[in-house]
Structure 1
Amino acid sequence: MAEFLVLGPLECRSANRAVTITGTLQRALLATLLAAEGTPVSADSLVTELWADSPPPHWENALQAHISRLRRRIDTVAGGRSARLVIEHSGYCLRTDEDTVDAKVFMHKFDYARVLGTTDPGAAADALREALSLWRGKAFGLVSQGPLCRTVAQRYETARLVALEMLFDLELRSGRHTDIIPTLSELVEAPTLNERFCEQLMIALYRSGQQARALSSYSRMRERLDAELGVEPTITLRNLHNAILNHDPALRLGADHAVLRA
């Protein structure tokens, strides 16, 4: 059975062994077909994905050659069971089983955790950890990406960000605030400014008896927002800062910290 990994460097595996897909265009073609998630991709769209505005003179022949080469490679590793590259009236389509593409598995677990989170935050957090463990780097890695791949990669990255935010909220609800402090501390210091992570870190620190560090985290975020973007923290983050100063009951262990966002 073939497995396709796109949540990080593009990989194809068979029997838990890496299968080499050589050539920049072959890898871009595979990434595009996987990004389409079972929807046929027209020849014109594939040309744009592979060559942008500079297709070769006889691009029809070149595209067909790449399609044939990739189909043979997939047939060799999948045996027609878990993946098939087929031609449909509207274009080319890579048919895969639901559990053979890591992005599909991630999105399924993510949706399941969202539903479960309303009734069992601990179990939902476990499901999210399992889903997030599938990530190995940036979606589609260093594959040369056309418009479709870039759009889908951004959708996956956004879902990953939401999953992380949801996970930390669930951990706070489950009383596991101490466990998430190291990871949140790293995320807050990352180049991407994320005030939601800062908010969650401040709550986790406060509940761990580290009020001074919580206030320091706010000050650091405020300084970065001013220096890098020329803006103030959101009203939500400012309200949380005041809540910590005033020991708001919503910050106590077991309370619903989400009310502070309202």
Structure 2
Amino acid sequence: MLNFSVLGALQICAGDEAVEICGDLERVLVQTLLVSEGRPIPAETLAEEMWGDHAPDNQANALQAHVSRVRRRLRALEPERRQQRLVLRPSGYWLTVESGELDAVRFTEGVKAAAATMAEGPEAASKLLREVLALWRGEVFGALPAGPICQLAAARYEEIRLRAMELLFDAELALGRHDAILVELTEAHIGNPLRERFCKHLMLALYRAGRQADALEIYRRMWRRLSEELGVQPSRELRGLEHAILSHDTALAPAGDVTGVLRSA
């Protein structure tokens, strides 16, 4: 079994042994096949992903040369494997990836499972989300420039990562851990200043920590940013949270602590 990792710079490992995919073109080749998640990629599409508008005159031969080098490197990790991982089929090139071998698939499946687990209890959801978020080692593909297939995949994985963080903060706040996640929330809000759900999470955590003025200041900054950059107002939900903070609504207290927020406000 191999371990393919794209949530960061490309890595391919068999146990403690890793294979180096040399050259940006070969890395893009492997990454494109990986994010296809079982779908064959036509040679023309692969070439466009690798070279864009600057494909060599002998494009077919050049592509085949890169494919051959990747095959040799994969074979070095699995010398006992009978069939090639990377094959050419009538519909295009195909890279065999078994269940559990690609970190991006494990991540997306883990986020779905955590979302379903939230209804049963936030503790289990929080644990699972932290496990799958730990799969990320950096920017998808290590920010290696590539074509539209890899760009769309990177954007999709990044959006799922942000949704996973939102679910994680939902779970942690439901468990009353507002103090423990304040740093994480602040970083998430600063890094994604137009994402209202992070703003909501941070406002609630600050309020529960006895920092009503800071929570309201976060809202005012968000209001100005949305107005100036997008020409819109905060959502009804965010406006409602501001009103609840101003009125010391007891519904903002963590579960099982109706008076805690009032004491700290």
Cα distance in 1 between the residues matched to 2:191 and 2:160: 18
- 2:27 corresponding residue in structure 1: 27
Matching residue's letter, 2:26: Q
Q: TM-score, normalised by structure 1?
A: 0.90
Q: Structure 1 residues 216 and 146, CA, compared in 2 at 3 Å: closer, same or farther?
A: same
| Contact 2:5 2:12 (8 Å CA) reproduced | yes
| Deviation for aligned residue 1:222 | 2.3
Greater Cα offset, 127-136 or 11-20: 11-20
Q: How big is the alpha-carbon RMSD for the aligned residues of Structure 1 and Structure 2? A: 1.9
| Cross-structure match for 1:202 | 203
Shift in alpha-carbon separation, 1:210–1:82, aligned structure 2, 3 A = farther
Query: Structure 1, residues 30-78: CA drift from partner, whole Å, max 9, x if none?
Result: 1101111121111111111111122111111111111111111111113
Cα distance 1:49–1:152, how it changes in 2: closer, same or farther (>3 A)? same
2:15 is matched with 15
Give the residue type in structure 2 aligned to 1:65: A
- The corresponding residue for 1:259 is none
Which digits, 9 at most, give the CA deviation of each residue in 1:3-37, with x for residues without a partner? 21101112222333442111111111011011111
Per-residue CA distance 1:152-185 (angstroms, 9 max, x = gap): 1111111111111111111111222221111101
Q: Name stretches of at least 5 consecutive residues in structure 2 with no aligned partner.
A: 257-265
SS in 1 for 2:254: coil
CA distance in structure 2 between the aligned counterparts of 1:27 and 1:188, rounded to whole angstroms:
33
3-state secondary structure, aligned to 1:92: strand
Instruction: Check the 8 A contact 2:20/2:73 in 1, yes or no.
Output: no
* 1:53 correspondence with 2:53: yes
Matches within 5 A, 1:17-166: 17-79=17-79, 80=81, 84-166=85-167
Percent identical:
47
Q: Which moved more, 1:137-146 or 1:78-87?
A: 78-87
**Superposition deviation, residue 147 in structure 1:** 1.2
1:197 match: secondary structure: helix
- Equivalent residue, structure 1, for 2:5: 5
Partners of 1:249 and 1:105 in 2: how far apart? 39
| C-alpha distance in structure 1 between counterparts of 2:210 and 2:39, whole Å | 52
Q: Which runs of 5+ in 1 are unaligned?
A: 256-262
TM-score scaled by length of structure 2: 0.89
